[in-house]
C-alpha cells in the first residue's frame, strides 16, 4: 500500500499518442530486462529472481535472429508482455510464462524442454497460451476464432494465469498495432473490443480493459478518436483547473473530519466518453460527467463517512447514487458512486472506495495472486470463486453447443450484456446481478435450473407479474413453482436475456426429450437432404459418420441426431461434412478410367448422391434425358436459356453446364472430351419462363465523360438488376466495361446487346467466355 498522499491524475496529455500507446518499441532488450527485474523486486524484494533471469536468457536465445513487423528484435515483445504482468504484480511463474509464451509456437523449443528447464506448472501455462494460436486461418474466420476461444476457455479452466498472459500479449500487440496493415489493424481491433476487453472487464482488470478499449477505438474509428482527443485537449487547462480545485477542497474537508484519504481526479477514458456520446446521442459538451474524483480510504466505515461529507459539500443529483459496496458487480468491483453539482453548476462524479477495493478494481483477479501470499487476507478464495463463476458457466454451455457461429454470437452477447446489469433481491434478501432487460425467467434460472424448469409464475414486490416482466433495480423477485409443471416452453428462449438461462432451457429440452430429439433429428436430416436432392443413405457410411462425431465431440450417431433435433447442431453442418467426406473418397478412388465408366452409367441413371425428379427440373436443364441431375452453371461462360449447351462430368460435383462456344470446352484434351454429355434446356426454360440467370458482357467503348452513366441507363430503364460493374482503361482513349447482371434468357440478352450497340460510345460487345 502506498503512503497516504494527494495525487492529481488528470495531468495526462490525452491527445499525444505516446501517452496512450505507452510506446516501448525503441528501448533495448537490456534496458527492458532491467526495468522488469527492478519492478519485480519492488513487490517481491525477498524473492530469488534467478528463474526469471534463466527464462529471459532462454527466450533471448530461442528468438535470436527473429524480428517483429516493426523491425525490432522479437525478444522485445515477450519482455514487454512480462513487464505488463509485473505491473499487475503477478508471481514469478506468470512472469516466466510471459517471457516464454511464444517459444513453443515460434522456435524449436518444446513443452518437454520447458518442463525439464523449469517445471510442469510453467509448461502448462505456456502450453495453454501457445495452443490459442495454433490454428490455420484458411477456414471461415468466425469458425477459427470460435475454436481459438474454446481452447482459451479450456486453458483458463486449468490455470487462470493463461488468460492473464494472453491479455498482456494482446495489450502489447495493440500498443504496436501501427506496424500492421490497415485491414489487419481493424480485424485485431474488432476482436479486441468484442472479446478481450470484455474478458478483462469480466475478470475485473480495469487497468487493461480501459487501455484495450481506447486502443481499439483508435483503429476502428480513427477520425472519431482523434477528433475526441482534439476536443478534450482544447479545454484541457480549464478542466484541469476545475479538477484541481475539487481535489484540493475535498482533501481539506477529509483532513478536517479526521479521515485519512488519498484524493485524485481524472478525465474519463476516451471509449467511455465515446459510448456515452453514442448511446445518449449527445455532443462532448453535453456529457456532464466527463471527469471523476476518486477518494480512497482505509475502511468501509470511512467510505460512508466520506460520502456524508461530500453530500454536505455539494448537491447530489437525484437518481445518480450507486452503492457497489453493498451490492458488488459480478466482477467483484466495489465502490460508492455519486454524481454532484460542483462550482459554477458543473456536474462531476465522485467514487469512494477502500485501498483493497481500489486494488481489486484496477487489477481484478490478478490482485488475488498477491493477496493469496498474505496469511492475513480474508475472503480471497470466495472473491476469486465469484469471478470465475462466469468462466465455469461458459465451459458448461460451450460443450453443449457445436455450432461455432452460434457459440461466437452467444459469447459476444454474454460479454456485452455484462456491461449493463440490473440488481434485484431474492425473498431472503440476497442480491442477484442479472443482465439489463432480464425477466423473472432469467432470475429463476440464476437460482437453479430446477427452479426455472418448475416455474409457473412470479411475484415482483409482492404483486403477480407476467413472465416477460422486465426486472428493475431494487425489485424483490419471488418465483412461483409447481411440481406439476411440464417444464419450460420453447417460447421462453425468445424472452430470456441471459446466456445462462438460454443454455439451461436448451439443456432441459435436450435431456427430457432425448428420444424425441433423435427421431426429430433423423426426420430433419431426411427432409434437408430431400430438399437438396441428396440421397442420405449414400452418405451414412460408418467412416463418414465417425468424422462428424469426432468433429463435433459427440459420443455416437444418436447424439448427433439428438443435437440436430433440439437445435444444438444445424442440418447443414452434418450433411456438408458427410458430403465433404463422400466427395473426398470419390476423388481419391476415382481414376480417369473409372470416371469414364461412371460417365457412361450417368447417361443411363442419376449420379450416386443425387435423387432425380420424375416431373420437370428445378435447374431447368435436362441431361441426356434425365431430369434434375445435380447440375451447376459454369461461371466461365454463364449460359442462359436459348444458348446451345453441353454438360461436363466433374469429379464428385455432378455436371457442369457450359455454352458450346465456351473457350474451356473448345480446348479439352481427348480424354477430357469423353466426359462431355448432351444437355439441353427444358422447354419452359427455353421459352424464357425459368427465372433469372447470370450473364456477363464486356462492352468496349471510346472513353469519355458520362460513358458509365449511359451504359447503366440501358439496364435501369429495363429494370434489369446489375450485380457488378467495373471498368479498365485501354490504349488510345478506350476502355473495357465489364457488367454482370440477371437476365431471363438469350432473347432478352440480345435485346440488351442491340441497345448497347446503338450507343455512339460503344464500338464492340462480347460475352465473357473462358
Query: In sequence order, what are the beta bridge partners of 633?
Result: 657
Q: Crossing angle for the helix pair 161-175 and 76-87, nearest 10 degrees?
A: 120
- Distance (Å, whole) CA 1 – CA 356: 9
Cα atoms in the Cβ-side hemisphere of radius 13 Å centred on 589: 8
Name the helix (H) or strand (E) containing 158.
Answer: helix 141-158
Name the helix (H) or strand (E) containing 348.
Answer: strand 347-354
Separation of first and last alpha carbons in the chain: 74
User: Out of 105, 406, 661, 703, which one is annotated catalytic?
Assistant: 105
3-state secondary structure of 622: strand
> Among 600, 604, 650, which residue's Cα sits nearest to residue 626?
604
Grid cell digits, residue 621: 436443364
> Among 210, 205, 212, which residue's Cα sits nearest to residue 364?
205
Q: How many CB atoms lie within 10 A of CB 255?
A: 13
- Distance (Å, whole) CA 762 – CA 764: 6
580 in catalytic set: no
CA distances from 96 to 33, 41, 61 (A): 12, 15, 15
3-state secondary structure of 454: coil
Residue whose C-alpha cell reads 448497347 in the numeric block: 756
Contacts of 413 (CB under 8 A, 6+ apart): 499
Most distant CA pair in the chain, distance: 101
DSSP-assigned states of every residue in 161-178: HHHHHHHHHHHHHHHTGG
- Distance (Å, whole) CA 239 – CA 235: 6
DSSP-assigned states of every residue in 325-343: TTS--TT----EEEEEE-G
Name the helix (H) or strand (E) containing 263.
Answer: strand 261-267
Cite the beta strand spans of 488-635 per DSSP E: 621-623, 626-627, 631-633
In this structure, the strands spanning 655-659 and 315-323 are: unpaired
- Distance (Å, whole) CA 425 – CA 685: 67
Alpha carbon of residue 524 to chain centroid: 29
105 in catalytic set: yes
> Among 695, 570, 568, which residue's Cα sits nearest to residue 642?
695
What order do you get walking across the sheet with 645-649 strand by strand? 626-627, 621-623, 676-681, 645-649, 655-659, 631-633
Q: Indicate which residues carry an active-site annotation.
A: 105-106
Amino acid at each position: 500500500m502506498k503512503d497516504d498522499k494527494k495525487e492529481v491524475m488528470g495531468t495526462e496529455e490525452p491527445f499525444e499518442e505516446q501517452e496512450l500507446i505507452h510506446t516501448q518499441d525503441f528501448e533495448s532488450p537490456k534496458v527492458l530486462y532491467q526495468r522488469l527485474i527492478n519492478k519485480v523486486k519492488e513487490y517481491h524484494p525477498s524473492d530469488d529472481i534467478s528463474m526469471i533471469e534463466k527464462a529471459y536468457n532462454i527466450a533471448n536465445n530461442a528468438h535470436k535472429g527473429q524480428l517483429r513487423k516493426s523491425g525490432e528484435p522479437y525478444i522485445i515483445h515477450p519482455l514487454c508482455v512480462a513487464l505488463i504482468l509485473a505491473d499487475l504484480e503477478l508471481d514469478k511463474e506468470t512472469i516466466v510464462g510471459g517471457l516464454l509464451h511464444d517459444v513453443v509456437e515460434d522456435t524449436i523449443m518444446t513443452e518437454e524442454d520447458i518442463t525439464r528447464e523449469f517445471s510442469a506448472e510453467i509448461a502448462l501455462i505456456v502450453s495453454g497460451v501457445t495452443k490459442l494460436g495454433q490454428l490455420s486461418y484458411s477456414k471461415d474466420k468466425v469458425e477459427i476464432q470460435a475454436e481459438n476461444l474454446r481452447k482459451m476457455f479450456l486453458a483458463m479452466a486449468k490455470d487462470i494465469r493463461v488468460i492473464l498472459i494472453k491479455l498482456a500479449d494482446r495489450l502489447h500487440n495493440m500498443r504496436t498495432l501501427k506496424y500492421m496493415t490497415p485491414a489487419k489493424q481493424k480485424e485485431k481491433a474488432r476482436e479486441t473490443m468484442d472479446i478481450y476487453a470484455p474478458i478483462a472487464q469480466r475478470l475485473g482488470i480495469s487497468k487493461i480493459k480501459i487501455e484495450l478499449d481506447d486502443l481499439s477505438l483508435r483503429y476502428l474509428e480513427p477520425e472519431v478518436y482523434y477528433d475526441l482527443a482534439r476536443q478534450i485537449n482544447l479545454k484541457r487547462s480549464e478542466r484541469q483547473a476545475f479538477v484541481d480545485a475539487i481535489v484540493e477542497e475535498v482533501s481539506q474537508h477529509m483532513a478536517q473530519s479526521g479521515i485519512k484519504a488519498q484524493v485524485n481526479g481524472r478525465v474519463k477514458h476516451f471509449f467511455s466518453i465515446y459510448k456515452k456520446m453514442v448511446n445518449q446521442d449527445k455532443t462532448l459538451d453535453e456529457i456532464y460527467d466527463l471527469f471523476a474524483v476518486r477518494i480512497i480510504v482505509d475502511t468501509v466505515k470511512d467510505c460512508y463517512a466520506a460520502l456524508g461529507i461530500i453530500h454536505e459539500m455539494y448537491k447530489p443529483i437525484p437518481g445518480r447514487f450507486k452503492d457497489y459496496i453493498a451490492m458488488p458487480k459480478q466482477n467483484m468491483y466495489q465502490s460508492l458512486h455519486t454524481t454532484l453539482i460542483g462550482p459554477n453548476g458543473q456536474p462531476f462524479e465522485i467514487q469512494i472506495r477502500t485501498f483493497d477495493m481500489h486494488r481489486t478494481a484496477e487489477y481484478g483477479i490478478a490482485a488475488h495472486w498477491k493477496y493469496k501470499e498474505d496469511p492475513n487476507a480474508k475472503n480471497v478464495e470466495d472473491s476469486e470463486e465469484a469471478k470465475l463463476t462466469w468462466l465455469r458457466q461458459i465451459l458448461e454451455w460451450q460443450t453443449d453447443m457445436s455450432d461455432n457461429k452460434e457459440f461466437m454470437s452467444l459469447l459476444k452477447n454474454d460479454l456485452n450484456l455484462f456491461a449493463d446489469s440490473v440488481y434485484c433481491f431474492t425473498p431472503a434478501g440476497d442480491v442477484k446481478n442479472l443482465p439489463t432487460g432480464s425477466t423473472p425467467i432469467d432470475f429463476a434460472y440464476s437460482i437453479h435450473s430446477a427452479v426455472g424448469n418448475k416455474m409457473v409464475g412470479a411475484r415482483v414486490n409482492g404483486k403477480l407479474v407476467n413472465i416477460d416482466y422486465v426486472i428493475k433495480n431494487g425489485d424483490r423477485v419471488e418465483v412461483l413453482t409447481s411440481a406439476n409443471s411440464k417444464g419450460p416452453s420453447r417460447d421462453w428462449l425468445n424472452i430470456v436475456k441471459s446466456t445462462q438461462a438460454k443454455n439451461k432451457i436448451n439443456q432441459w429440452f435436450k435431456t427430457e426429450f432425448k428420444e424425441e430429439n433423435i427421431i426429430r433429428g433423423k426426420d430433419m436430416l431426411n427432409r434437408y437432404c430431400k430438399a437438396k436432392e441428396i440421397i442420405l443413405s449414400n452418405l451414412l457410411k460408418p467412416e463418414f459418420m465417425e468424422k462428424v462425431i469426432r468433429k463435433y465431440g459427440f459420443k455416437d450417431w444418436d447424439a448427433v441426431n439428438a443435437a440436430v433435433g433440439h437445435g444444438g447442431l444445424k442440418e447443414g453442418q452434418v450433411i456438408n461434412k458427410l458430403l465433404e467426406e463422400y466427395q473426398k473418397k470419390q476423388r481419391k478412388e476415382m481414376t480417369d478410367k473409372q470416371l469414364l465408366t461412371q460417365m457412361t452409367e450417368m447417361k443411363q441413371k442419376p449420379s450416386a448422391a443425387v435423387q432425380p425428379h420424375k416431373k420437370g427440373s428445378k435447374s431447368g436443364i435436362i441431361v441426356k434425358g434425365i431430369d434434375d441431375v445435380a447440375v451447376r452453371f459454369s461461371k466461365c461462360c454463364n449460359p442462359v436459356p436459348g444458348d446451345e449447351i453441353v454438360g461436363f462430368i466433374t469429379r464428385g460435383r455432378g455436371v457442369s453446364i457450359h455454352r458450346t462456344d465456351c473457350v474451356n470446352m473448345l480446348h479439352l484434351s481427348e480424354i477430357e472430351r469423353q466426359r462431355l454429355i448432351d444437355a439441353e434446356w427444358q422447354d419452359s426454360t427455353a421459352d424464357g419462363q425459368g427465372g433469372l440467370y447470370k450473364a456477363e458482357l464486356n462492352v468496349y467503348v471510346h472513353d469519355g465523360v458520362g460513358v458509365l452513366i449511359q451504359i447503366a441507363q440501358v439496364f435501369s430503364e429495363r429494370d434489369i438488376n446489375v450485380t457488378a460493374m467495373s471498368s479498365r482503361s485501354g490504349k488510345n482513349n478506350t476502355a473495357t466495361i465489364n457488367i454482370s447482371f440477371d437476365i431471363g434468357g438469350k432473347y432478352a440478352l440480345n435485346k440488351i446487346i442491340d441497345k448497347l450497340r446503338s450507343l455512339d460510345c460503344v464500338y464492340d460487345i462480347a460475352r465473357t467466355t473462358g
